[in-house]
A and B are shown apart, each in its own frame.
Chain A
Amino acid sequence: MIEFNITILCAGVVAGAAPILLATLGETITEKAGLINLSLDGTIMLSAMTSFVITYETGSIMTGFIAAAVVGALVAAVVALFSIYLNQSQVAVGFVLTLMTRDLAYFLGNPYSRLQGACVAPQPIPYLKDIPFLGDVLFNHNIPIYFSILLIGACWWYMYRTPRGLILRSVGENPQACFARGIDPKRIQMLYAMCGGLLVGLAGATFSLCTKPGWGRPQGAEGTGWIALALVIFGGWHPIRAAIGAYLFAFLQVIGIYLQGWFPSVPAQVFQVAPFPLMIFTLLIINIAQHESVRTWSDGKAAVQSILKIFSQNMPTALGRPYRSD
């Protein structure tokens, strides 16, 4: 029976959410540019394995993270290549890749299964960590977790406050118009697919070197990629809202651990699996909130409307339909 301590709970949520956050923000970038990368789940596995193995072999955690980032970017590049230049379905290629990269991870990572590997050292920030409550929750972690928190703001700033971010958004909205204005949609989509993939790779590394250290079959990170995809939609393709979703999901996972202690009769696995369908079915609610009939019902009810507005989706108009130059 685990003691209920709100500080530890919140700190656990912040720490646990880090890889999910990285993956979700990465995919938000990719989808904002108009590309769907369905291979997230497998990519996370492959990059988790890669970073663990590389760190184990070279002794350098930094190299491990870099390797994972490269792997993530490469897999995303494959999806982008097939879609943008070979005119194949993003969904098909992404789906095949998610299975294939996962199997590749298991296969190549087999010799390193259950080995004790390196782990990112905790790096509490001096002075700030002594602030009551907030100190433990936010400033008593390690670098990847700090990075994930900073990334939220960085993503938002890039997308909404810089010209480059404007171009990113414009390509996902209307690649034809971009072409007419001298922007090359293909190059941009490729670039941001790889950027997003890079972040997804870092998410995998964060798993195997920090949050759920080690490698094995299963590793524990399985299913995260699918959740990240759902969170992007839940977040309305907006980095800050997606981040809220990521923290919510991490919260559900942490609560699961507590609930396990409180309801020992219910099998542990149920709590482990439960956040996934819960999350995905939030989509149903969001979609219903978009429905015409609900819209008309809520007309005039300002409070309801403002709640519904939180859920309003802003799907990039050209998502999944890359620019065809012919």
Chain B
Amino acid sequence: MPMDVTHTKRDIILRRTRELGLTVIVVFAFTTVILLLAGAPPLDAYYHIMKGSLGSWVKLGHVLKAWIPLTLCACGLLFTFRIGLWNIGVEGQVMMGAVCTTFVLRFGTDGHAPLLYLTLACAAGVVGGAVWALVAGFLKTKGGIHEIFAGLGLNFVAQAIILWLIFGPWKRPGIASMSGTEMFPRDLWLAYMPHMRASPVALACAIAAIIATALMLRYTRVGLYLKALGSNERAAHMFDLRPRFYMLVAMICAGGFAGLAGSVQVAGVYHRLIPAISSNYGYLALLVVMLANYNVWISPAVAFFFACLNVGSIQLPMMLQLDSSLSGVIQGALVLAALAVHAWHVRTRRMAERADYD
């Protein structure tokens, strides 16, 4: 049955804006209810979140420090989502990138050629994340294990490895503690900008990642093949495509970006390895990409908003005696509401179509 002629671009934009507006209203209402349930003044909460993220240059620097790894992970996930994979293992890929970065950086603590070590360390992070992703990829293509479970299992393994390293071979002199390994000397830190304590190198990496991802997805064969296989794997033989190979390619890309995020976390943010080095950015990046409708230009914007929420909510315990996980609630609610609103519109439109059809 021939479907309707594609709507004009204007129609689509109008429709999307309407959906977005509805989503925001729903989430706003929901969050307000939650806040009231917790006995907190909603407006104050929103105010503190905003002030805590955008209120000063320093705060903005914090937001950037969160935005960078989040965006890097999101860029990587765009590849796996494109081919239809649920790369939940991204969290572990960040962790292993961090581990490899720490590994390399530990050799450079004596002060020789810090820049060289930093560069090598970041490269090691990329490789570490990519290899970790490849393990999950092989578990899927050769072992038939769904990438969700392979990824989850590997996340746990990575977490265990980090804990073992922090409390074992890499423990700080004296008593090992949850605050991580020994901090690296200053020259092994990614340089900061004044006022905003974020690294311009890391920022450049993130921006480069966005552009590289956009270019790769749009202009390279790999990008096209990923899209094709994600659309219809069964037709792969028509165009001589090998689904398994490109699944691994997508995983490598995702893991590489995630590993770089791990590097940034170690070299640019914490300057050591801590148990929570991945800070949930991997999982959060999945939400970012979902909410951004798998669009490479919208993802950084959503990531920025999510980073603001994360950083802003840190104020909540201090100011209002609330837990900072409100940001997670809002983020999850946004994605759910977006899914619901979109599904509702599709449903009403399909019912209207069916009414004319008969």
Which residues of A are in contact with B by a Cβ distance under 8 Å? 38, 78, 82, 86-88, 91-93, 95-97, 99-104, 106-111, 217, 223, 226, 229-230, 233, 265-267, 269-270, 273-274, 276-277, 280-281, 283-284, 287-288, 290-291, 326
Contacts and interface: CB of A to CB of B under 8 A. Distances in A.
Given A86-B340, A280-B149, A99 B283 contact: yes
Contacts of B322: 107, 110
Nearest to A105: B325
A20 to B, nearest CB: 15
A100 B323 contact: no
A321 to B, nearest CB: 14
Given A86-B347, A277-B156, A92 B328 contact: no
A96 B283 CA distance: 9
Given A88-B343, A107-B323, 13 more contacts: A86-B340, A87-B343, A91-B148, A95-B86, A96-B332, A100-B333, A107-B325, A107-B329, A108-B38, A111-B321, A269-B275, A283-B149, A291-B144
Contacts of A291: 144
Contacts of A95: 86, 88, 286
Interface string B313-333: 000000001110111110111
Nearest to A281: B153
B37 interface: yes
B329 A277 contact: no
A280 B156 contact: yes
Most buried by A among B143, B322, B331: B143
Nearest to B323: A110
Contact of A99 (B156, B160, B168, B332): B332
Given A95-B88, A273-B156, A86 B145 contact: no
B116 interface: no
Contact of B152 (A78, A226, A288): A226
Contacts of B159: 273
Contact of B339 (A88, A266, A287, A290): A88
Q: Is chain A's binding surface mostly helix, strand, loop or mixed? A: helix
Considering the complex of A and B, which 4 residue pairs feature the smallest CB-CB distances, nearest first? A100-B332, A103-B328, A267-B167, A280-B153
B83 to A, nearest CB: 15
A91 B153 contact: no
Contact of B145 (A101, A102, A270, A283): A283
Interface centre among A38, A82, A107, A269 (most CB of B within 10 A): A107
20 contacts: A87-B343, A88-B340, A93-B336, A97-B332, A97-B336, A99-B284, A100-B329, A102-B328, A103-B327, A107-B322, A107-B326, A230-B152, A267-B163, A267-B167, A270-B163, A281-B153, A283-B145, A284-B139, A284-B143, A288-B143
Contacts of A106: 323, 325, 328
Interface of B: 34, 37-39, 86, 88, 139, 143-145, 148-149, 152-154, 156-157, 159-160, 163-164, 166-168, 176, 275, 283-284, 286-287, 290, 321-323, 325-329, 331-333, 335-336, 339-340, 343-344, 346-347, 354
A284 B154 CA distance: 12
Nearest to B313: A107
Contact of A267 (B156, B176, B354): B176
B156 A276 contact: yes
Nearest to A273: B160
B156 A269 contact: no
Given A100-B332, A102-B328, A284 B145 contact: yes
Contacts of A226: 152
Contacts of B39: 111
A276 B284 CA distance: 22
A103 B329 contact: yes
A223 B290 contact: no
B190 to A, nearest CB: 28
A100 B176 CA distance: 33
Nearest to A42: B332
Contact of A100 (B148, B149, B167, B328): B328
Contacts of B38: 107-108, 110-111
B262 to A, nearest CB: 18
A96 to B, nearest CB: 5
B100 to A, nearest CB: 19
A267 B168 contact: yes
B311 to A, nearest CB: 15
Contacts of B336: 78, 82, 93, 96-97, 100
Contact of A274 (B34, B88, B160, B333): B160
Contacts of A287: 143-145
B165 to A, nearest CB: 10
A15 B289 CA distance: 41
B112 to A, nearest CB: 32
Query: In this complex, which of A100, A217, A230 has the most chain B Cβ atoms within 10 angstroms of its Cβ?
Result: A100
Nearest to B290: A92
A223 B156 contact: yes
Contacts of A109: 323
Contacts of B354: 326
Contacts of B143: 284, 287-288
B164 A108 contact: no
A183 B38 CA distance: 43
Contacts of A102: 325, 328
Contacts of B176: 267
A47 to B, nearest CB: 16
B326 A103 contact: yes
Given A270-B163, A273-B160, A280 B139 contact: no
Nearest to B317: A110
Nearest to A286: B145
